[in-house]
Amino acid sequence: MLKKTLLLTLAALACAASALPAQAQAKRRPQFALTYDDGPGQITGDLLALLERRKVKATFFLLGTSARRYPELVKKIHDGGHLIANHTDSHKNWFKIGKGEDREKVLAAEVKKAEDAIVKASGFKPAILRMPNGYDRPWVREAVKKLGYRPANWSYGSDWTKTPEAKMTEEYRKATRAGAVLLLHDGGGKSREKTLRLTEAILDEAGRLGLEPVRLDTLLAGPNPRE
């Protein structure tokens, strides 16, 4: 399912790229996006400082529960020029709820509640949504669009797994390429200090490869080569 989403995303990117004048394409470095889920959390302030120091804009998929806990950080993310996106309110288990008859109603409530918390804290109304655990089914894509959102998953992410950090860092480096949507976490669970180290490693690799980290809305607007 994730692969299918990625292929669709890449196809959309290719279409967007061909629609732009050659001159505009030539000027830009190949782009990729850093995305952070489940926040804001304890490390979000440090992460924002890191991104500012490296002059990088990223995308934050916020949970409503986290946004109500750290409203000042929601505002800081927005004021920093980063993109805020919706990750639903309470990170429910959609593999279970998706089987229920009232699934669209539950989804609408989850999306709206998170949206309200984000708007209240930052004044910004998000337009991109990522489902918890990358849950992706035809019904959910339709429902998300009806709610006024564009669904978006990721091309690589592993910071929630037990992979040793050195190997994980190597995997993130390898996944850093044009058109990539990298997933990390700045909220939820225990300490997310590792996210800061992984972000530095990814940005070092991007610098080496001449890639430009951009917000997800910028990436989705293309132009970007496939690989």
Q: Which residues contact 29 (CB under 8 A, 6 or more apart)?
A: 210, 211, 212
Q: For the window 9-38, what string marks contact with Zn ion as x by the rule CB under 5 A? A: ----------------------------xx
Q: Please name the residue ranges forming H helices in the chain.
A: 2-19, 22-27, 44-53, 64-69, 71-79, 94-97, 103-122, 138-146, 165-175, 193-209, 216-220
Smallest gap, in angstroms, from Cβ of residue 91 to Zn ion? 6
Point out which span in 10-18, 69-77, 126-134, 153-161 binds Zn ion (CB under 5 A). 126-134
Please give the backbone phi and psi of residue 164, each rounded to the nearest 5 degrees, phi first: -60, 145
Work out the number of other CB atoms within 10 angstroms of the CB of residue 90: 14
Q: Is the dihedral of CA 38, 105, 93, 4 positive or negative?
A: negative
Q: How many residues of this chain bind Zn ion (CB under 5 A)?
A: 3
Of 71-79, 124-132, 174-182, 205-213: span binding Zn ion (CB under 5 A): 124-132
Q: Which of 207, 170, 212 is nearest to 31 (CA)?
A: 212
For 121-139, give one letter per residue: b (16+ CB within 10 A) or e: bbebebebbbbbebbbeee
Nearest approach, Cβ of 13 to Zn ion (angstroms)? 23
Site string for Zn ion, 78-117 (x = CB under 5 A): ----------------------------------------
Please identify, among the stretches 10-18, 92-100, 125-133, 199-207, the one whose residues bind Zn ion according to the rule CB under 5 A: 125-133
Q: Closer CB to Zn ion, residue 38 or residue 159?
A: 38
Question: Minimum distance from CB of 37 to Zn ion (Å)?
Answer: 4
Q: Is 159 or 205 the residue whose CB approaches Zn ion more closely? A: 159
Measured from the CB atom, the residue of 38 and 115 that comes closer to Zn ion is 38
**Structure-token pair, residue 227:** 């690989």
Task: By CB under 5 A, name the binding residues for Zn ion.
Answer: 37-38, 132
